[in-house]
Every structure is written in C-alpha cells, then in structure tokens.
Amino acid sequence: MMLEWEQQRAAMVAEQLRPRNIRDERVLAALARVPRHMFVPPSLRERAYADMALPIEANQTISQPFIVALMAEGLGLRGNERVLEIGTGSGYAAAILAQLAAHVTTVERHPTLATAARRVLDELRYTNITVLDGDGSLGWPAAAPYDAISVPAGAPDVPPALLDQLADGGRLLIPVGPPDDQRLLRIVRRGDEWQRIEWGAVRFVPLIGAAGWDDDPPQMP
C-alpha cells in the first residue's frame, strides 16, 4: 500500500501541480513526500490525493493540494526560516511547511483539531513543528518575529498583529475580503513599510477571531 500512496503523490505532483504552474522544486518535492492520506479521515483516504478540499473535524476542511502548494510557494522558503501558520486544521500544511523551513509555529482555535494534528505530526516524527491552541488572528507574539506567515483563511482585512510580527524582509500570504470576493495578498515587509501584491481571486474558509470575523461570519454563496 505504501508504494501505491507514493505513486498517487507522484501523480498529484505531475498532473495537478506542475500543470498549474507550481514551479518551486522544493515545494513539489515536499508535496511528493508528505503523506496527505494520514491527515484525512480514514473513510476519505481513497480521495486523499484528489484535487479537492476534504472535510475534517469541527466542520473544517483540509485544503486541496494545489492551494497548499500555492501558499507554500508564495512564502519563498529556503530552509532557514521561522514560519507562523494561522489555522492548523489537519496539520497537513504545517507538515509541508516544515519540510521547507527551520521551524513552524501553527495556531489552531479548535482544541480537537489541535490535538488531532499533534497526534499525526508526532506519529510522523516532525520535531520542528509547534502546535498551539489560541486565536490565530492575533498571531503568536511570544515567538515573533517570523520570516513568513501563512494564513489559509479569509479575513475582513489584514490583522495588524500579523504585520507587527513579520520580520524585516518577511512575507505574509493572506486572503482578504468577504467569502464571495476574496483576494489573495502577498505582503513583504521593508522596514516600516509593507509592499502588497494581489495574487487574484481565491476561496477560503473565514478567519474567525478578534482580528477576523466573529463567530457568525458571512456565508459562502
């Protein structure tokens, strides 16, 4: 079965990611290594490498592989960075980032998800990931500054706390806007200034928290 999973990952890279212009070879290699099937419910494992989001606990989802790859590539990681991820979810994206950076701090507001992610990441022997319970919209200032921040959830605006926790030269990727009109922003800090580039329309679950939406956010149409 292990060979079959490896073949499915190889096909995912060749048929889903390369044709959609994911070009960073380190990102592609990480997607080919990390066992996504370990991060989805057992009943959905046969679809683990399909180009789709899948439901997990707490009414959340594991993002489709292309989105995980796009976010990872956009951070421009080279191996020595300290990364903050907002919204651990299943832990899959954190595992990808951990292949690309020195350390990943990931914050999850659902304790059940944080616990499940820790269990899988421990089983897979990741030693450079710290999973924390908390309001990710406020970041995690205790471990700041970060060389890169990934926010795989749509916010009404860019949380000021995340900008403050970004190191000089650091990169922040975050979708901003209501569920039906989100835009993915790539923000680079240059001293006391932030360069913003819009990467186009996206569709993410809402970022819930003090600097995000409240517990009753706008619904996706």
- pLDDT at residue 179, rounded to an integer: 85
- pLDDT at residue 72, rounded to an integer: 98
Catalytic residue among 43, 63, 90, 137, which?
Answer: 63
63 is annotated as an active-site residue: yes
SS3 of residue 181 by DSSP: coil
- pLDDT at residue 175, rounded to an integer: 97
Q: CATH topology for 2-202?
A: Rossmann fold (3.40.50)
Model pLDDT for residues 160-219, shown as the tens digit of each residue: 999 999 999 999 999 999 988 999 999 999 999 999 999 999 999 999 999 999 875 555
Candidate from 28-32, 152-156, 184-188, 211-215 with smallest mean pLDDT: 211-215
Domain boundaries, the chain: 2-202
- Between helix 25-33 and helix 92-100 the angle, nearest 10°, is 130
- pLDDT at residue 7, rounded to an integer: 96
Structure tokens at 21: 């212009």
In contact, 93 and 86? CB cutoff 8 Å:
no
